Amino acid sequence: MDRFMAILWSWIYVIPLIILSTAGFGVVSFVISLFDHTPARQLKVARVWARSLLRIAGVKVTVEGLDRIQPGENYVFVSNHVSYMDIPVVLGNIQEEFLFLAKTSLFDIPLLGTHLKTAGHVRVPLEDPRSALKTLQHTAALLHAGRSTLVFPEGGRSESGVLQEFKDGAAFLAIRAQIPIVPMAMIGMHKILPMHTLTFHRGPVTLRIGEPISTDGMTTHQRAEVTAAVRRKIVEMLE
């Protein structure tokens, strides 16, 4: 019965309200883009949208270690990834000026594409490895100039919730930009919205923030070493 009620609650209440919230904030973002082309205003809209999704889905987030993030600094945030709700959790609870790397096709979606462009997010041509590398180099320059980013180094959501092996793109970005990597662990997300379902479950989530890992003086040849250190830290925090 609990499962049946969760499905009913999701399809009658949660999913329709998430669609309405996303469409509504998409329109707000578009209208703002006509008058203001700076990323900061778009990021504020995205934060309110993220918090609305968490409220609708009944997700109560507890943040641990927020004092490890220094105001005015920029970072590469690295986290495990198990749910479509992971980004709203981060956006709604960490007050940094984020840019995101998104696949090119997302920029062609009405309203969403306008928001991504105006907010200064970066297209990643996944089908062209050489262009993707140039995109990473360009993104590193943006980070060095004062932006932060969130990377899910597993390359996709974990079906089981168990941490997968990491790709080294986040370490590459942090080393090129000479900024710290912040390891993060999201605990409880796998229960909120299991992969391959649209059934939401109310519940608590913990966003655990680790000590920033410096990349000062490192070169990109050390990215595998940095990637391994970040993964070890996230494993510790998940346990």
- 99, 87, 93: which is closest to 43 by C-alpha? 99
The CATH code for residues 2-238 is: 3.40.1130
Show Cβ contacts of residue 177 under 8 Å, excluding neighbours closer than 6 positions: 74, 76, 140, 141, 143, 144
What whole-number distance in Å separates Cα of residue 121 and Cα of residue 145?
14
217: left (phi over 0), alpha (psi -120 to 50) or beta: left
Q: Per residue in 16-43, pLDDT tens?
A: 999 999 999 999 999 998 988 888 899 9
Report, as an integer, the average pLDDT of 149-161: 83
* Phi, psi angles (nearest 5°) of residue 218: -80, 160
Amino acid letter at 100? F
Give pTM, 2 decimals.
0.91
**Average pLDDT for 98-107:** 82
Q: Per-residue pLDDT for 120 more than 70?
A: yes
CA angle 173, 209, 234 (to 5 degrees): 70
Instruction: Write the CA distances from 86 to 150, 172, 194, integer angstroms.
Output: 11, 22, 12
Query: CA 175, CA 157: separation in Å to the nearest integer?
Result: 25
How does residue 122 score in pLDDT terms, banded at 50, 70 and 90?
A: confident
Mean pLDDT value of segment 39-66: 95
Q: Indicate the pLDDT class of residue 110, thresholds 50, 70 and 90.
A: confident
Every domain of the chain and the residues it spans? 2-238
- Mean of the pLDDT values across residues 72-91? 92
| Amino acid making up residue 46 | A
Distance between CA atoms of residues 194 and 189, nearest Å: 8
3-state SS string for 40-85 = HHHHHHHHHHHHHHHHHHCEEEEEECHHHCCCCCCCEEEECCCCCC
Among 189, 170, 192, 191, smallest CA distance to 181 is for 170
| 192-to-78, 89, 114 alpha-carbon distances in Å | 20, 12, 29
